[in-house]
Structure 1
Amino acid sequence: MNLVSVTQNDQKYEELYRITEKFHSLMDKDDVLVELISTLQALYSEFIFYLFLSHDNENHRNLPIKELGFDHQDGNELAMEAYVTGKVTVSNQDEANQATIYSPLKGKQGVYGVLQIVANNGVELSDENKNFIVMLANTAGTALENAQLYDQSKRLIKDLQLINETSHRLNKNLRLTDTMTYMSSRIMESFDADEVGFFYINPDGTIQIFPGSTKFFSSDELQIYLDYIKGKIEKDLEGLFIGDISTYLSGAEYSSIMAVPMVQSDSLKGCALVMHKNPYHFSFDMFKLLQSLIHHSTLALTNSLLREELETLVKTDHLTQLHSRNHMNNRIEKSIKVDRQGTFVLIDIDNFKMVNDTYGHQIGDDVLIQVANIIRNNIREQDIGARWGGEELAIYLPHVDLEAGIAIAERIVTRVREDTTPAITVSCGVSYWNAENQYNFDQLFKKADNALYEAKSLGKDQVIVQSDTK
């Protein structure tokens, strides 16, 4: 019997050596737990084994897992004692003739769960077997810790790559839409989010949604979230990490919320908002990463926004909100190089000086705005309306032939005559180019200008087309 016992012990400790090597070759927590349970079940088929793990551990392998908590059911109280103290706890034989041991899965830095060993029907759990199982649990605890540290290091590297790549992208001076679309897609991917958006707080307190935000940020349903979040972050400029916002907002479709303010020089510039429908979807580590990402990005984002606002000012007439003459010039020159045809319309408000003298310059400005709005409402998105200078306006219609260009000019003349207050008229000169006539921009403008002069001379309130003989 002694020889048999010694042989069995040798076999068990050989198994312990083998499983220790196997544990430390595994870098996935689930793999460690599967190996632990399968080994124990093979060695001790007469016992039942369970794992008590905290709620943030996901079970992908159908392991016998119980959630670790403070309730008094399923041995949770003794399991929690083993988890907190890091010591083995024992429940001696009870009325059901059952003995239970709780062995912590312990590493050097902490306890990662508890192994429950159940001996039913009076089956004896000897000290020798108990010590062996505890040693195996300790070995598994160390392996779990190593796997978790490995997982944390991979996640940290991935987080640093995200911050580095995003910062690099922002510093490339891309268009704001491209930058924000890139950031949204990376955040969606990294945080497994349902919605990602960014909003900018204008000096007057109104909110402007950044391009690149998901579609939800253009919906009416967003407003209840914005009102709540804006009110919170304006008070202390701190981020919000909310596991279930429905506690505060009844009927909220999205429960998990991460909101990180964009702060520059102690001034709130805007906010990044990440959302998921499920409660408690995001971890606190995700929130800290989002904070770091937005902190590194805020200056570049606000600079990008200011740069585009400046570009808009440069290419936009402040009064009419049409394009500037310089911007139109550049667009026409590019069109002549790459397109097949285009039509240019030069527009002059008839008797504009009389309008200013009769009604005042404020009404004169309003007349300019009315004409600009008529132009904007009668051209396509790809067409270009511009303030040419003073009371002169212009339209460039890429890819549009002369006949269609004349029709648009005549429609604008009619609309101005019928829809302005005080009633005014305009005169138009139209010129046209195509790939065969090889006009340059100066020639195109000169022909439209000559046609406009002729329209003025012939009584105004009309459209005159270029003459190729002039």
Structure 2
Amino acid sequence: MEQFELQMKLKLKSHFFDIMDTEDGLLNDDQLMKAMLETIKELTGALDVSFLDTSIIEKKMPSIVPFSISELSRLSKVYKQLVPEFEEYDLMLLLIHKDCLLGGILLKGIEGSFSDEFFDMLSEESARFLYKARQLVKTISEEKRYKQLYRVTEKFHSSMNIDDVLGEIIYTLQEVYPSFIYYLLLSHDNNKLGDLPIKDLEYDSENIAAMQAYVTGTSQFEDSIQEKKSILYTPLKGKQGVYGVLQVIAPNSLVFPNNEVEFITLLANTAGTALENAQLYQQSKRLITDLQLINETSHRLNSNLRLTETMTFITEQIIHSFDAEEVGFILFSKDYKEIKILKGSTDFFQQKDAELYINYTKGKVEKEKESLFIGDFNLQDSLTRIQYKSIMAVPMTQSGVLKGIALVMHQQPYHFTFETFKLLQSLVHHSTLAFTNSMLREELEKMVVTDHLTKLYSRSYLDEKIHLSMNKDQEGTFMMIDIDNFKLINDTFGHQVGDDVIIQVADLINANIRGSDIGARWGGEELAIYLPGVSLNAGIIIAERLVRRVSECTKPQVTISCGVSHWNKGCHDSYPALFKRADRALYMAKQSGKNKVVVQK
């Protein structure tokens, strides 16, 4: 009999050894426990073998559980009396190893008879196996977790993308602790990162522990007996600061497991360093992009672009780089009472709705002489609907003089970052001198081809444009204009009034022709108009309207005589001939009563 039980002991150990073979992959508690019970069942021939947890033994059989660890060694390991609620089992083996009660094994329907020494041996070997198996599972689990940490650290430092770093934190925690719940409480605006469990880190009565972790840089705990959960807040800490807090919720746990805190803290510290590196990398990239933008803009602005081209280019750059919806450049008059919207601004600034934003920012900048950065624009005591919430307004100054403002807007509140605002300031500062020079250059060019008194074009400019038109257009109408009895005006009212009369007639000419038409001062009181692409009949209507308007609107009242000529591609013609016909028609108008239009075909 002893020889048989000895063989059974060796067989038991052999089976246990096979179970512990790590290559078979039985490396979790449930699988190892199941394999152990199957081995005992096969060895004893029992109908059923079950495992009782220590907590169940303490609850069901409190009389056999000692109060001190030292008494465990004297505790009987084989109990043949019935266990409450488990009366169908024949006996229970207590598993005690190294002064620790690991649980119990219940056996039912054992074939054959075994000695008490056999059951003692079975209890000791099973306890030894269970203890070593749990130690092995713990070791392998620890190894697996730290392999995960090594893998994730490698992944962190191979990526400079903040989204990837944050995603990897959550993925790793889900792999290691699938039953836990996680949130990333971040101090920056990172709420556009897909499906990641991200929240803004805000101070309120419910977030005191999270804020303490963020401010102090140390882990904080929050236990809830009522909700049966424990929460760990561990900071995402880099060398230069804390970038957020990792919130880990352990459900059905009154105290957060100590053995998990170290791993989660290591993961959070690694993630904090990776976040810091990714942010520094993205900041450096953004800085390089900003410098390239300023450099490219400065280069283009110094390439003698026309004013409209300059403003259009800057507007496009701001819309593209800042994700802006509206961009406007507004110039002030010397007394700040009048404004001018520069061409190249977006169409919105030509609408009446833009006045609200222009007047508000103009008043603020004019008073404070500082840039405006508004995240959520509202007007107190105003029922006006505010369409654009995010506003940046930067003064355009040259030599300390406020010339106007650059206004950038978006409908969404808090759309622009402070870094964007600083970049806009730099961009406008570099651009102001360039487009001021462009304006001065165009004003100088206009002065060269413009009559100082009337602000009409010079005769040389008119000659040049008529020659160009006769080469590219199909037709055109030319008219010579003379102020009737102009010498009498000078003699009666003086030369200053005479000049004023010429200015009045010039203003009426500009008011009654298109932007593509050319009004010019021919000499003295003689003026001229050229209408490219305009038929003779349309030209006559314009001339007659002008004659009528001069008679009605001048003070002192004067009249004009007008001679009209026309050309078209169908007839061989020249500029001298066109001028001669108009001059002859003007002479006939003067000779035949004045204050009229005469056409010389």
**TM-score over 0.5 for the pair:** yes
Greater mean deviation of Cα atoms: 393-402 or 275-284: 275-284
Query: Mapping of 1:58-69 within 5 angstroms?
Result: 58-69=191-202
State the secondary structure of the residue aligned to 2:515. Answer: coil
Map 1:344-423 onto structure 2 (within 5 A): 344-417=478-551, 420-423=554-557
Give, as a single letter, the amino acid of the residue that structure 1 aligns with 2:245: V
- Kindly name which structure, 1 or 2, has the bigger radius of gyration based on alpha carbons: 2
SS state at 1:348 partner:
strand
1:450 aligned partner: 584
In the alignment, the residues of structure 2 paired with residue 123 and residue 39 of structure 1 have an alpha-carbon distance, to the nearest angstrom, of: 24
**Cα deviations by residue, 1:294-349 (Å, 9 ceiling, x for unpaired):** 11111112111222222333333344333332322221121122112222111111
State which of 180, 184, 202 in structure 1 corresponds to 2:311. Answer: 180
Residue-by-residue CA offset, 1:166-201 (whole Å, 9 max, x unaligned)? 212211221212211221222122222232211112
Task: Please say if residues 34 and 61 of structure 1, whose CA atoms lie closer than 8 Å, have aligned partners that are also in contact.
Answer: no
1:146 maps onto 2:277 in alignment: yes
Deviation of the 1:40 alpha carbon? 0.7
Count of residues in correspondence between the two structures: 465
Deviation at 1:278, TM superposition (A): 3.1
Q: Is the 8 Å Cα contact of residues 30 and 61 (structure 1) preserved in structure 2?
A: no
After superposition, the C-alpha distances for 1:412-442 in whole angstroms (9 at most, x for unaligned) are 3344445544443322233333335444433
Deviates more, 1:58-67 or 1:32-41: 58-67
Alignment of 1:301-320 (within 5 A): 301-320=435-454
Contact 1:100–1:119 under 8 Å retained in 2: yes
Stretches of structure 1 that go unaligned for 5 or more consecutive residues are: none
Query: Structure 1: which amino acid aligns with 2:475?
Result: Q
For 2:250, the aligned partner's letter is: A
Partner of 1:263: 397
- TM alignment of 1:82-101, pairs within 5 A: 82-92=213-223, 94-101=225-232
Closer, same or farther in 2 for the Cα pair 1:238/1:413, shift >3 Å?
A: closer
1:199 to 308, 330, 346: 330
SS of the residue corresponding to residue 246 of structure 1 reads coil
Q: Deviations over 1:129-154 (max 9, x none)?
A: 22112111122222212221222122
Judged with a 3 Å threshold, the aligned counterparts in structure 2 of structure 1 residues 167 and 332 are, in CA distance, closer, same or farther, namely same
Aligned partner letter, 1:282: F
Alignment partners' CA distance in 1, 2:335 and 2:224:
73
Alignment-derived partner of residue 7 in structure 1: 140
The worse-fitting range, judged by mean Cα deviation, of 118-127 and 192-201 is 118-127
CA deviations 1:45-82 (Å, max 9, x no partner) are 12111111125222332222232121121xx1111111
| Farther-moved stretch of structure 1 (116-125 vs 167-176) | 116-125
Q: How does 1:156-167 map to 2 (within 5 A)?
A: 156-167=287-298
The 2-side partners of 1:179 and 1:377 are apart by 28
**AA in 2 matched with 1:188:** I
Residue type of the alignment partner of 1:360: G
Cα deviations by residue, 1:344-397 (Å, 9 ceiling, x for unpaired): 111111221012212333432343234334433443332222221211111111
Q: Which secondary structure state, in structure 2, belongs to the residue aligned with residue 387 of structure 1? A: strand
Partners of 1:142 and 1:183 lie apart in 2 by 38
Normalized against structure 1, the TM-score is what? 0.90
* Residues 432 and 10 (structure 1), Cα distance of their counterparts in 2 relative to 1, 3 Å cut: same
Deviation at 1:290, TM superposition (A): 0.7
Q: Counterpart in 1 of 2:455?
A: 321
Taking a change above 3 Å as real, the CA distance of residues 462 and 122 of structure 1, as seen in their structure-2 partners, is: closer
8 Å CA contact 2:190–2:198 kept in 1: the answer is: no
| Structure 2 counterpart of 1:338 | 472
Q: Cα RMSD over matched residues?
A: 2.5
2:92 maps to none
**Cα distance in structure 2, aligned partners of 1:187 and 1:249:** 32
Native 8 Å contact 1:356 1:364 kept in 2: yes
Q: Structure 1 residues 292-301 or 322-331, which shifts more?
A: 322-331
Aligned residue number for residue 218 of structure 1 = 350
| 8 Å CA contact retained: 2:191, 2:200 | no
Moved more, 147-156 or 431-440: 431-440
Task: Tell me: CA distance 1:80–1:26, structure 2 relative to 1, closer, same or farther (3 Å).
Answer: same
Give the aligned partner of residue 363 of structure 2: 231
Structure 2 unmatched ranges of 5 or more:
1-132
TM-score computed with the length of structure 2 as normaliser: 0.72
Distance 1:244 1:132 in 2: 42
